Amino acid sequence: MKRQDFYYELPEELIAQDPLEDRSSSRLLVLDKETGAVSHHVFKEIVDYLHEGDCLVINDTKVIPARLIGSKVGTNAKIEILLLKRKENNIWETLVKPGKKAKVGTKISFGEGLLIGEVIDVVEEGNRLVQFTYEGIFEEILDQLGQMPLPPYITHQLKDKNRYQTVYAKHTGSAAAPTAGLHFTPELLEQIQDMGVDIARVTLHVGLGTFRPVKVDEITDHHMHSEFFIIDEEATEKINRAKDSGHRVICVGTTSCRTIESAADETGHLKACSGWTDIFIYPGYQFKILDCLITNFHLPESTLIMLVSALAGREHVLAAYEEAVKERYRFFSFGDAMFIK
């Protein structure tokens, strides 16, 4: 299967640059995975497609303000750091721009010395290991100095950091938001629970590898980065109960989907567990647990459009995307949503 099989034309002006004032007023395209039929709605109407006994799986990871802009000690040259993965307490794997100014031994000052980073190693793909020194609590300093690591296709400044967090974000550790969850409000979640829908919380810390473009022609040659996930006993019980009673498991976002599919056994059940996953889902994959998916619109030729194509069929997905373009839907992280039923 070729990368270009998942290409579609997207006018640049349809890439959403800002979140809507009301999260749940995004548009919602509903796609029937069996027939390819589509219909158009507002996101809060998702309740019309959820039934008592269903289990809604959400990813409660929290994005860290991982983008730091500082200056090289000694020359004041501007250096930008993106925190990718905590290796030890004060040592992080990072993406540094420009890399040529960040040789081993380079010191970078942030917030006029409030935080100092020293490059201690160069690792896979040119990423840098940076050791930080500071006084106080790292998370508090990061909250003060860091910016949200918005994707490169968003060029507007984010006025409120919380708009790149889900309302249920809890466990800190992501370099990017699980954006399908951005459409939910506390009121909408309460309404869903009152309908008798179970809400299961899992955690997958989203790495930037999820959004890494597929550069190889044969998609099976693409290498996925691994991401850390946790599924606790409570979530396990809710998901297994829905499956055993003949109800549906509906994932909010590709990250929730990848989490439960990574941990599923051959019978389509879960056990509480944690670990690393590099699961790559593309057409031909047989879903073990997931029945339906709430998701945003994804980049052409990305692993994420391949995942939704595995669920609904490539032709159905590309036809639905063509319809969304024609109807002027808003695309990507701050864009509109799709429900694959």
Task: Dump pLDDT digits (tens) for 222-253.
Answer: 989 889 999 999 999 999 999 999 999 999 99
Please write the tens of the pLDDT for every residue from 151-210.
888 988 888 889 999 999 999 999 899 999 999 999 999 999 999 999 999 999 998 776
User: Which DSSP letter does residue 2 get?
Assistant: B
Confidence of residue 135 (pLDDT cuts 50, 70, 90): very high
**Is the pLDDT assigned to residue 92 strictly greater than 70?**
yes
Rounded average pLDDT over 92-113? 91
- What is d(CA 90, CA 103) in angstroms, rounded to the nearest whole number? 19
Q: Is the dihedral of CA 333, 338, 340, 341 positive or negative?
A: positive
- The whole model's pTM is what? 0.91
Average pLDDT, the chain: 94
Q: Residues near 56 by Cβ (< 8 Å), separated by ≥ 6?
A: 50, 192, 197, 198, 199, 200, 250, 252
| Tens of pLDDT, residues 308-317 | 999 999 999 9
